[in-house]
Amino acid sequence: MDSPGRVTIAKGTALNASAASQARLLDLQALDAALDRLAHRRRTLPELASIEALGTRLREIDDALVTARTLDSDLAREQSKAEADVDQVRSRAERDQQRLDAGSVSSPRELENLQSEIASLGKRRSDLEDVVLEVMERREAAQGEIAALSAERDTLAGEAAAAATRRDEVFAEIDAEGAATSAARAAIVPDIPDELLALYEKIRASSDGVGAAALHRGRCEGCHLSLNPGDLAHIRDAAPDAVLRCEECRRILVRTPESGL
């Protein structure tokens, strides 16, 4: 990796641009890098992952709430039915008891039947009351779950709203910075010849967003490789308006007062 880089100084079809417009290209590169960083920050904001995770959990809770509420209403119907059964058995037993108390039944056999029916109705009523109690307990559990899920839902919805507010605040900051940076970029573009700009954009698209790099103390700032003395000598001899390319990374290599030439 530490082999010296090489520099191409294209001849014939060589691209020329004034040293000033080459220097402007470095300014443009700095702004494009800033815009890329802003876009990356916008995409990878931690709040986005939080909001997504909270949204997933909220949907799960909503599903669980639908299930728990359906169970609760099923149990409510079951409870009403069991209570109606209890009422029915109770009234029938009361009627029987009234007939018994009224002394209107005189036949011993009929009397025995009536007493036996009252006893079995008592047993039936007790069984039905157990059913009512059991259903009520299950309902209580379902309602407890609904309450717990609703509380969790409120908490998470609050967290999601707070995260959305933070996200929007940061988005606003990023977008304001982006607008200022884009305006600065637009002011630079006219200083750069179309052909040089097109080359820069092409390289930038295929080289991690860096199309132009400074030659700094004998090193390409694009790939961070040092140039060998022969290449540095070539660069020293090159016309100031020659557009140079780093042989290693193919980026446009721009000379500056700190190039170490």
The binding site for Zn ion (CB under 5 A) comprises 220, 222-223, 246, 248-249
Minimum CB separation of residue 222 from Zn ion in Å reads 4
| Cβ proximity to Zn ion, 10 vs 66, nearer residue | 10
Minimum CB separation of residue 207 from Zn ion in Å reads 9
| Cβ proximity to Zn ion, 4 vs 178, nearer residue | 4
Minimum CB separation of residue 227 from Zn ion in Å reads 9
Report how far residue 234's alpha carbon sits from residue 239's, in angstroms, rounded to the nearest whole number.
Answer: 10
H or E element in which residue 33 lies: helix 19-43
| Cβ proximity to Zn ion, 7 vs 128, nearer residue | 7
Report how far residue 230's alpha carbon sits from residue 251's, in angstroms, rounded to the nearest whole number.
Answer: 19
| Cβ proximity to Zn ion, 128 vs 246, nearer residue | 246
| Cα 203 versus chain centre, distance | 32
Q: 201-209 long-range CB contacts below 8 Å, 24 or more apart? A: 203/250, 203/251, 203/252, 204/29, 204/32, 207/249, 207/250, 207/251, 209/32, 209/33, 209/36
| Cβ proximity to Zn ion, 28 vs 75, nearer residue | 28
Minimum CB separation of residue 213 from Zn ion in Å reads 6
Minimum CB separation of residue 223 from Zn ion in Å reads 3
